[in-house]
Amino acid sequence: MKRAFSVDELKQTAPRLAVERRAVRFQDVDAAGIVFYPRVLEYFSDAYMIALKERGIDLPAMIAGGTIKLPLVHAEADYLLPLRFGDTVEVEVLAPKLGDTSFTVGYRVTMTTAGRVAAIGQTVHVCIDGARFTPCPLPDDLRSALA
């Protein structure tokens, strides 16, 4: 799959849509004492949900309503620096790149004390008709919220 965001965009240049500040919790680290790799994807997801809520998109209602769904079809992360228990990070949701029926969200995790990027990634979401489970155009309200 071709990356929608370049590594440089993810590391430094892409504008952000939202940011969540959080601490690396004890339960986030593995036996090596660093963040267990799937936790970074959870950080991305948590920040994404906050970004949608801040922009007026009620994801739980959208899911419950069933007419439109936004399944994740691709996720990736690059781990650039170790994150340890007690580190404070900013998880940035980067302004998505919008297609007709899909969008790609970029993410950047920055260590607040060092100001260095520790992880980057992106997720691809496809808008589907909930009844037929086939791709459909992004609704205007979602498109506006993500733009």
Neighbour order of strands in the sheet with 72-79: 16-23, 88-98, 102-111, 116-126, 72-79
- Is 58 part of the annotated catalytic residue set? no
Number of neighbouring beta carbons within 10 Å of residue 135: 14
Catalytic one of 8, 28, 30, 58: 30
Run of H or E including 120? strand 116-126
Amino acid at 121: G
Distance (Å, rounded) from C-alpha 97 to C-alpha 110? 21
Active site residues: 30
